[in-house]
Homo-oligomer: A and B are copies of this chain.
Amino acid sequence: MIAMSTEVPLKINIEEAHRRIKPYIHKTPIFTSSAINEITESELFFKCENLQRVGAFKMRGAVNALMSLSGVQLQKGVATHSSGNHAAALSLAARMNGINAFIVMPRTAPGIKVAAVESYGGKITFCESTQEAREKTLEEIINKSGAQFIHPYNNYRIIEGQATCAKEILEDLESPDFLVAPVGGGGLLSGTCLSAAYFGDKVKVIGAEPSGADDAFRSIRDSVIYPSINPKTIADGLLTSLCERTYEIIREHVYKILTVEDELIIKAMKLLWERMKLIVEPSGAVPLAVVIKNPGLFRGKRVGLIISGGNVDIQNLPW
């Protein structure tokens, strides 16, 4: 059904991805905060993917995956199942290319996420909220429409796209000691690992994960992909588990995966809102929460943190 490369992306693939997507994405700024540096006693550099198109880094991978398809493949549109930022990003990327995006969403998805996908022109089909129902509904839609399935992370073109975020950090920031990225399905973290290896100079990559959804931490520790069963965290972008493609890359390249409790995630999120005036979703605050939790590791270090997104219901905040 899906034609994908089975080869881990090379340096040149990420460079090509970056050239391909540049006209369609924002080069997001890197901000610093002397107040937060004082608190953490380190030098933090926040890569603001909350200011990316659709409010999340997902735009990078979605554009790259879509634009890597041939004209014939694109003709009948693209499809995915997602209740989050990948669905919004794929919808916008499709609209920019004048094709359809078919999005399968659980009936239970928050109204604000449904509205976002609709606003970018995605064609939504609702289903029950089980993984099984999602996959079955998606298959029906693909069979009927002939659309190309774009998995949110188990896809090397997606991983290449997400990798361009760390590539930009490394182009702008002189010799950071660490890069910290949140980890859910692992698309962003695996891309960050690859860019660190190809474009970095001994920079260590750390995955930041909510302790209520610590399947990636356990998967790397035990060298087996654990599914994410009943994850319980406010970081709603990080509920999924690693997959074959992301796991292999992360296992080989990641320095550590560090977990952190929701209480500290909310504290970090509030710091970013109050001190930096940036709207950051809970998932995007997990890297800072990890830095706050591990002062011994980060003290005096230069750290690039990826603020992965800013899509949060501002009428329903965790404080």
The chain B residue sitting closest to A54, CB to CB, is B35
State whether the Cβ of A3 lies closer than 8 Å to any Cβ in chain B.
no
Chain B residues whose C-beta falls within 8 Å of the C-beta of A35 in the assembled complex: 119
Chain B residues whose C-beta falls within 8 Å of the C-beta of A291 in the assembled complex: none
Interface string of A283-319 (1 = CB under 8 A from B): 0000000000000000000000000001000110101
Name 18 extra pairs, CB < 8 A, besides A314-B319, A317-B317: A29-B29, A31-B51, A50-B277, A51-B276, A51-B277, A55-B277, A270-B314, A273-B314, A274-B314, A277-B278, A277-B279, A277-B280, A277-B310, A278-B278, A278-B279, A279-B279, A314-B317, A315-B319
Please indicate which of the listed interface residues A273, A314, A315 has the most CB atoms of chain B within 10 Å of its own CB: A314
Main SS of chain A's interface residues?
Answer: mixed
Chain B residues whose C-beta falls within 8 Å of the C-beta of A310 in the assembled complex: 277
How many copies the complex holds: the figure is: 2
User: Which bucket holds chain A's interface residue count?
Assistant: 20 to 34
**Bound CA–CA A55/B270 (angstroms):** 15
A residues with a Cβ closer than 8 A to B are 29, 31, 35, 50-51, 55, 119, 270, 273-274, 276-280, 310, 314-315, 317, 319
CB-CB nearest 3 A-B residue pairs:
A277-B310, A277-B279, A50-B277
The chain B residue sitting closest to A319, CB to CB, is B315
The chain B residue sitting closest to A31, CB to CB, is B51
Chain B residues whose C-beta falls within 8 Å of the C-beta of A31 in the assembled complex: 51
Q: How far is the CB of A120 from chain B (nearest CB, A)?
A: 10
The chain B residue sitting closest to A51, CB to CB, is B277
Q: How far is the CB of A277 from chain B (nearest CB, A)?
A: 4
Q: How far is the CB of A10 from chain B (nearest CB, A)?
A: 33
**Bound CA–CA A50/B276 (angstroms):** 9
**Bound CA–CA A55/B272 (angstroms):** 12
**Bound CA–CA A273/B280 (angstroms):** 10
Chain B residues whose C-beta falls within 8 Å of the C-beta of A51 in the assembled complex: 31, 276-277
Given known contacts A29-B29, A319-B314, is B277 in contact with A273 (CB within 8 Å)?
no
Please indicate which of the listed interface residues A29, A50, A273, A274 has the most CB atoms of chain B within 10 Å of its own CB: A274
Q: How far is the CB of A60 from chain B (nearest CB, A)?
A: 16
Chain B residues whose C-beta falls within 8 Å of the C-beta of A50 in the assembled complex: 277
The chain B residue sitting closest to A273, CB to CB, is B314
Q: How far is the CB of A57 from chain B (nearest CB, A)?
A: 13
Chain B residues whose C-beta falls within 8 Å of the C-beta of A315 in the assembled complex: 319
Chain B residues whose C-beta falls within 8 Å of the C-beta of A314 in the assembled complex: 270, 273-274, 317, 319
Q: How far is the CB of A23 from chain B (nearest CB, A)?
A: 14
**Bound CA–CA A278/B279 (angstroms):** 6
**Bound CA–CA A279/B35 (angstroms):** 17
Chain B residues whose C-beta falls within 8 Å of the C-beta of A274 in the assembled complex: 314
